[in-house]
Amino acid sequence: MIKYCYCGCWLVLFSAGTVLAQPADQSNIVSHQQVQDQQRAEARDWLERMALAMEHLNYRGTFVYSHSGQLQSLGVVHMRDSNGIRERLYSLDGDTREVHRNNNLVHAVAPEQDNYSQLNYRQFTRLPSGQLLQGESRYRFQLGKQQRIASLLAQQISIEPKDGFRYGYELWLEERTGMLLKQVMLDEHDQVLEKLVFTNLELGAEIDDRDLLEAAAGAAEHAVKPLADTVSQPRWRPAQLPNGFELLAHQRSSAGDEDPLEHLMYSDGLANVSVYLEPEEVTRADAEYPPSSYGVVNIYSRTVNGMHVTALGAVPYRTLRMIGGSIHDSSHLQATVGPTAPEQPAAKPVE
C-alpha cells in the first residue's frame, strides 16, 4: 500500500567531463543519513502509536476494502475492557460473513468453504512488530503529507521495500491517536494491490456486548486456532529465506502422529508468510503446482517426500517459491541456519 519516495545523494558532474569531488559531498552524505535516521525514528513512533490504538482503543466504524477489481463494504466493532479484547468484523453487502475475536481466539462465520472472512481479517489486523523498525529493516520509511479521511486529520507514512521480496505500503494514521484510517498496498511496480479506507469511524465509542453479537444465521463456523510461540525446532525447514525474514511461530500436531502436520510462520516485521505441511493422501512424484492466489494473497504449493507444502502470504510469488520451494526434512540433520538469499533488485513474480 505504498508509493515510496527515495531521496538519493546526487553527485554533480561539471562540464569538461571532470568529476569534482568537493568536501561538501561528505557533508551531504552525512545529512542524508541523518534525515533517514530521523525519518525512521518518527515512523517508529507513529507505528507504535498505531499498534496501541488498534488494540487498546474502543472504536466502531465502516470501511471500504478493494482488491482484484472487487469492492466490499465492512463494519468493525472493537472493545477493550477488564475481560480483554473483543472484536467483530462483518460484511455490509453480499453474503453474510463475520469474524469474531475474543482475545487470542478467533472464529469466522461464513458460507461453507469460504475463507474470505478469515483472510480479510488477517489483512485488517496486520500490525507491525518491533523487528520492522530495527536498523537492518528491509524497508525505508518516510513521512508524507497530512490528509483528511473520514473527517479526521491523518498523517501519511510510506514504507518502501529495499528489494523485490516484499510489497510496499502507504498508511494514513489519525493525528491524535495514531489509529489506522487508510492503508494501500503496492506491488514491485507501484501498482495498487489493495486499498482499505475508513468512511466513518467513531473513536472512544461506547460499546456493549450487544454490539458484538453476530448477525449471521445458518452459516458455517470456522475456528482459527492461534499459533503458539516456537518451543522446538521444526522438522521441516526452508534452505533459503529472503533477507529479513525470520521464523516467528511454529505449530505441530500431536507428537504421536507418524507424519504430524506443521505450520511455520515467517515474518520480516510486516509481511508474513505461512507454510503448511501435511501428508499427501495419494502418493505423487515431487512436483510444483501452478501458482494461484486469493485476493492479494499469493499461494505456492508443491509435493516433496510424500508431503504437500503450501506457502501463502501477501508477498510476491517469488518469495513464496524461495521459501516453499526449498522446504526440506531436517529431522536427521543438526540444527543449522539456512543460507539467506542474496540481495536482488525488484523483479516480477516468478511465473
Domain spans of the chain, in order of start: 41-224, 236-329
Q: What average pLDDT does the chain have?
A: 77
H or E, element range at 148: strand 139-149
Q: Which residue has the higher pLDDT, 337 or 38?
A: 38
Phi-psi region of 269 (alpha: psi -120 to 50; beta: other; left: phi over 0): left
Q: What is d(CA 198, CA 330) in angstroms, rounded to the nearest whole number?
A: 45
pLDDT at 231: 54
**CATH code linked to domain 236-329:** 3.30.200.100
| Three-state SS letters, 189-211 | CCCEEEEEEEEEEEECCCCCHHH
- The yes-or-no verdict on residue 175 having pLDDT over 50 is yes
Identify whether the C-beta of residue 62 lies closer than 8 Å to the C-beta of residue 90.
Answer: no
Lowest-confidence region among 26-35, 71-80, 247-256? 26-35
Q: Which residue has the higher pLDDT, 15 or 144?
A: 144
**Which segments of the chain does DSSP mark as H helices, in order?**
23-56, 116-124, 317-325
pLDDT at 27: 56
Lowest-confidence region among 61-75, 137-151, 203-217, 304-318? 203-217
Q: What is d(CA 24, CA 342) in angstroms, rounded to the nearest whole number?
A: 33
- The yes-or-no verdict on residue 74 having pLDDT over 60 is yes
CA distances from 311 to 66, 86, 164, 264, 331 (A): 23, 29, 17, 9, 20
- The yes-or-no verdict on residue 208 having pLDDT over 80 is yes
pLDDT at 290: 94
- The yes-or-no verdict on residue 220 having pLDDT over 70 is no
- The yes-or-no verdict on residue 103 having pLDDT over 90 is no
- The yes-or-no verdict on residue 233 having pLDDT over 90 is no
pLDDT at 129: 64
Q: Which residue has the higher pLDDT, 174 or 93?
A: 174
pLDDT at 127: 63
CA–CA–CA angle 145, 151, 156 (5° rounding): 20
pLDDT at 86: 92
- The yes-or-no verdict on residue 48 having pLDDT over 90 is no
Identify whether the C-beta of residue 267 lies closer than 8 Å to the C-beta of residue 126.
Answer: no
Nearest to 176 by CA among 49, 32, 267, 325: 49
Q: Which residue has the higher pLDDT, 6 or 123?
A: 123
Cell of 290: 501452478
pLDDT at 256: 52
**278-335 residue pLDDT tens:** 988 777 778 899 999 888 889 999 999 889 999 999 999 999 999 999 999 887 654 4
In the chain, pLDDT over 90 holds for what percent of residues?
38
Cell of 265: 510462520
Q: What is d(CA 86, CA 211) in angstroms, rounded to the nearest whole number?
A: 10
Q: What is d(CA 323, CA 106) in angstroms, rounded to the nearest whole number?
A: 27
CA atoms within 13 Å, Cβ hemisphere of 208: 1
- The yes-or-no verdict on residue 79 having pLDDT over 80 is yes
To the question of domain 41-224 being in CATH 3.40.140.10, the answer is no
Q: What is d(CA 163, CA 160) in angstroms, rounded to the nearest whole number?
A: 9
- The yes-or-no verdict on residue 10 having pLDDT over 70 is no
Q: Which residue has the higher pLDDT, 48 or 337?
A: 48
Q: What is d(CA 208, CA 212) in angstroms, rounded to the nearest whole number?
A: 7
